[in-house]
Structure 1
Amino acid sequence: MRNSSAVATGLLLLAGAITTAGPAAAADNGDYNLPDLGQPADTALTPSEGIRLGAQVIARLRSQHMIIEDPELSAYVNSVGRRLARHTDRPADEFHFYVIDSDDINAFALPGGDIGVNAGLITATKSESELASVMAHEIAHVTQRHIARQMAESRGDTIATLATAIVAAVAGAAAGGGGDAAVAAITGGMSHLGMQQLSYTRADEHEADRVGIRDLARSGYNPYAMGRFFGTLQRQSDLYGQQLPQILLSHPVTSTRIAEANARAADYPNVKVHTNPEYPYMRARARVLEARSANDMRDYFKGEIHGDHPIAADKYGYALALSRLSQNQHAIALLRAGLKAHPDILAWRMGLADALEHAGDNAEANKVLSAALKKFPHSDPLKLAYAQNLEDEGKPAAMRNYLLSQTSVLNTYPAAQRLLARGAGKQNNLGEAYYRQARYFAMLDDYPRAINQLRTALQTAKLSAYDKSRLRALRDQMVRACHHAWSKDKCRRGVAKGNDY
């Protein structure tokens, strides 16, 4: 798949594959000569259609298990993305960032504000600024309406066709081979765009670099990070052989482009660079979560620990790998030592609690999490872990009371709704269990399953009048949402099949 020019072109056209820099930029208050973002772009793909496209792509990626649903890593990547988004002309809450389960070095943007960041990209970076530089580039694709502007030259692809092509490209690239389906989807669904669009897309990429470096500097990240990251890729390119990452397939890195990126960065002197001490831990976490073999990760981090430049996060990654191999006591010992040495790093606390839970010591895990909540009271992943541990301790009522007091957790993490559903089931509260399970599916944009949950409950369960009214209202809400996100016909078919699309 990585060697397919058709797929590389498809990713370029559809998702804005990352490139290096274009012409030199003006300073922060300079004239970027940006094009008019109104017509015909909004005619080709309206903002609401862009959101709809993103929802369909993310739902399909989830159904194919292409998204790493890890609250801790997800929260970290979203924190980087929101920091960048706050310095654009779009509301930061319109952007959503997802970690893609792929070791390929790439990322993609969807027009409604959904950004996919491959786990392989996270592990390839050497600093948070480098990671942020790629994300800033992708955010710029959204703010500059590049996909919509490309569609203005097309002949009317449907949202569903575009969603299918994008998902096929992402999934095929992640598979690392067997990409015939992705090639067919892209060439079949987007063939009318033609190669004449390629130069226009390159102009979009240069523009995304200019705007991305500007937003990078505004956000307190090192504006030289983009040039440095692509310089690293250039130096390593000879090692890839015929298996180049998508970034290099789409736009080969040249010394000229790196120099131009650095020239732009020079327009933003005296940036006070933001550093997040959690970055190396989340990079290690991404490596472990994406890996197919815990044994390989144990050996990798063991080698790093005994290498020339070990860092504390290597021991954290080693402990995570050991925990996944059920070597819990060794993992717990490492994590306790790490927590003692680095009490201000949340990753050590959450890693220790997780290892204790794997070892069956939920009471001790509760102590670790309770202490962590006092030090990190605003961490939603920590709150979710605490609620999960309450359920594991056999305390569904306490779990329910706690989660219902945490609105942000409930609105952000589908797993929180699933916890409430399980807890309600254990308490024989069927109305609440069905309600929460439907909310869980809806948060995954899997409206047919949400609707079927509610239909089943209303047809078979013994419910109070209050529960029936509540579930009917939610069912009607889910039907409307399904029609808006997909179509009436697709929703009917999905509900009839009893599964997703």
Structure 2
Amino acid sequence: MSRWRAVNARASPISLRRRCEPAPEPIRQHAVEAAIQRRTSPMRLAVLILSLALAAHGAPAGAQVPGNDLPDIGNPASTTLSISEEYRIGLAILRELRQAGRIVEDPEVNEYLQSLGLRLASEAHEGGYRFTFFAVKDGAINAFALPGGFIGVHAGLVTATRSEGELAGVLAHEIAHVTQRHIARSLQQAGRSNLAAAAAILAAVLIGATTGMPGDAMMGTISAAQGLAAQQQINFTRANETEADRVGVGVLAAAGFDPQAMPDFFQTMQQRAGSTGRNIPELLRTHPVTTERIAETRDRASRMAAEPRADSASYGLIRKRLHLQSLPPETRFRELYAGAASADRPASDADVYGRALALARAGDFEPAIGLLTGLRDRRPELTLYHAALGQVQLEAGRITAARATLERALRLFPRSVPVTMRYAETLLRTGDAKRAHTVLLDLFNNVPPTPEQARFTAVAANAAGDVADAYYYLSEYHVMNGDLPLALDQLRMAQAVPGINSVQRERFDARIRELQEYLPKGRRAREVPGTATREPEGTARR
């Protein structure tokens, strides 16, 4: 089975599994899932982070790491992780999480979080980081920052917040952990003798935060690495948390949110934990909050001038969307949100949206279409309503109506990522793969693509019979995930497709030459993830 087929066997968030085959021969899905599980075991992730941390501290630019030999780590007292080294480590961890199926691959959710996150990051006045915000498939109330500007928020945290300001407060706090370089500084402070244990502890903490490892198992991993003393060196210290609060609350206010939302949410989490401490949210385990810390943050927020704005309409809709996605299949979706309205409180638009999506999950498409049509007609400026209506019409088999809905939406919102993705899915259902490929290519070339966009573009290209281009787009998927050797493999497969024209061949050749420049000498065939000396600038345009 080729790597192209293996990657595309993953379940798509836009329900392509039974509608278009990404490869001409059957895929052994269970074999792919087993391979993914092998790739992403906690031990493998721990080893990955450990090796990356060691390499980042000791390997000179372009240094080779033959076999499993570790490089001389040098003297960390006089060096620290560069931003590009942080980026490679964070990207490698994110790739592992994505391959494990832990990332929410939903274009509506991704667009909202990235938009909100970048709005906040722009106020941090730190231009060295390329921030990426993503949701994790986990009901725990938690968030975390990876090295290099990758910030994950658990679905459970989004649904637990009571306002957009509270969600923004958590993101602002994590942004501050990145811009203040707390992870890099912690690794540096660990010193040469403790660097390996510190990196292993960091791995254990991140595994626990992102894969649901029980607390006792995570602590066992930490203890095996070195013990409590080293744990205290790597965990975010009280000084780190205070600094992240100070910087984060300023970012929150500058972005137009109520700065009191940050201490409000911390206080709610503290109250939820209760006096016994048995119900401590994961956020408090990874970011300990004290009454003193809440008071300090509240006092700091009270001295900031801000004119808070109301929650965006998208915030409530995304909360409902994530809540629905987190529910098990046996949920009684027909009854969900049915009692949201009362005599004293009419149903909000978010309640109606949630109700419509719940009915669609239950197979009651006609009432769902009616509710979404009403929402769209009342608030036509919201892309979420257009995309949801088109998606439900498609699920209901009303393909002509879905196509008309989404074509209208694209006229209103050219190159909207969620609308274009839903439209392309509809085109594939109608057998118009060429058109689907065309619209996705236009999006790919004009809007910074996500890995899922690149993967879906490859699916559409393959369905349209453009096999060489399918390999090309999948290579870009791997570039975005930081796996340059696998990207090169895909480009070489593209070169080998019979009948490619001279323009395609030159494009593939040029991209291969470009990517090879980013690999250390001697690693042109396969690379330890994350050890490239620099990152390609974005993705190639066709």
**TM-score, normalising length: structure 2:** 0.74
Q: Which letter maps to 1:214? A: G
Q: Extract unaligned runs of 5+ from structure 1.
A: 1-9, 15-38, 495-501
1:78 maps onto 2:114 in alignment: yes
The percentage of aligned residue pairs carrying the same residue is 36
Cα distance, 1:342 vs structure 2: 3.4
Structure 1 residues 296-330: Cα deviation after superposition (integer angstroms, max 9, x where no partner): 55544334456975422122122222323333223
Q: 1:388 aligns with which of 406, 418, 425?
A: 425
1:480 Cα shift?
Answer: 4.8
Q: Distance in 1 between matches of 2:94 and 2:310?
A: 30
Confirm or deny that 1:115 pairs with 2:167: no
Counterpart position of 2:370:
333
**Is the contact between residue 360 and residue 368 of structure 2 (CA under 8 Å) also seen in structure 1?**
yes
What is the 5 A alignment of 1:425-440? 425-440=462-477
> Which residue matches 1:62?
98
> What secondary structure is seen at the aligned counterpart in 2 of 1:269?
coil
Cα pair distance change 1:489/1:417, threshold 3 Å:
closer
Q: Partners of 2:97 and 2:371 in 1: how far apart? A: 35
Query: 5+ residue gaps in structure 2?
Result: 1-45, 51-74, 530-542
2:33: which partner in 1? none
Distance 1:249 1:106, change over 3 A: same
SS at match of 2:153: strand
Q: Could you give the per-residue CA deviations for residues 236-288 of structure 1, whole angstroms, max 9, x where no partner exists?
A: 22399634211222455444333222211111134243631211001111112
The code of the aligned residue for 1:386 comes to: Y
**CA deviation map 1:81-139 (0-9, x unaligned):** 11111111212871111111111111111231111111111101111111000000000
Post-superposition offset of 1:492: 4.7
In 1, the alpha carbon distance for the partners of 2:464 and 2:214 equals 47
- 2:139–2:156 contact (8 Å) kept in structure 1: yes
Quote the RMSD (CA, aligned, Å): 3.6
User: For 1:177-234, what per-residue CA distance to the aligned partner results, in whole angstroms no more than 9, with x for missing partners?
Assistant: 5567644554455759625537971101001001100111111010100111122223
Which secondary structure does the structure 1 equivalent of 2:186 belong to?
helix
Question: More displaced, 57-66 or 199-208?
Answer: 199-208
Residue of structure 2 equivalent to 1:451 = 488
User: C-alpha displacement at 1:391, in angstroms?
Assistant: 2.7
Give me the whole-angstrom Cα distance separating, in 2, the residues matched to 1:53 and 1:351: 36
Higher mean alpha-carbon deviation, 360-369 vs 236-245, is at 236-245
Q: 1:61 to 1:106 in 2, by over 3 A?
A: same
TM-score of the two chains, using structure 1 as the length reference: 0.80
Residues 157 and 190 of structure 1 are in contact (CA less than 8 Å); yes or no, is this contact kept in structure 2?
no
Paired residue for 2:358, among 309, 321, 341? 321
Aligned partner of 2:251: which letter?
D
Deviations 1:310-356 (CA, angstroms, capped at 9, x unpaired): 42212212222232333322322222233234333332221111101
Q: Which deviates more, 238-247 or 129-138?
A: 238-247
If asked which structure has higher relative contact order (CA below 8 Å, sep 6+), I would say: 1
1:238 is aligned, of 268, 274, 279, to 274
Alignment match, 2:64 = none
Residue matched to 2:322: 286
Report the count of equivalent residues.
457
- Map 1:55-454 onto structure 2 (within 5 A): 55-91=91-127, 94-156=130-192, 169-173=205-209, 176=212, 178=214, 182-183=218-219, 185-188=221-224, 194-197=230-233, 201-238=237-274, 242-250=278-286, 253-273=289-309, 275-293=311-329, 295=331, 299-305=335-341, 309=345, 310-377=347-414, 379-407=416-444, 411-454=448-491
Say whether the 8 Å CA contact 2:77–2:191 is kept in structure 1: no
| Larger deviation, residues 344-353 vs 213-222 | 344-353
Opposite residue 456 of structure 1, the aligned amino acid is M
Classify the secondary structure of the residue corresponding to 1:411. Answer: coil
Partners of 1:307 and 1:248 lie apart in 2 by 38
Compared CA separation, residues 308 and 178, structure 1 to 2 (3 A): farther
Shift of the 187–463 alpha-carbon distance from structure 1 to 2, 3 Å rule, reads farther
If each structure's helix is expressed as a fraction of its own residues, which one has the higher value?
Answer: 1
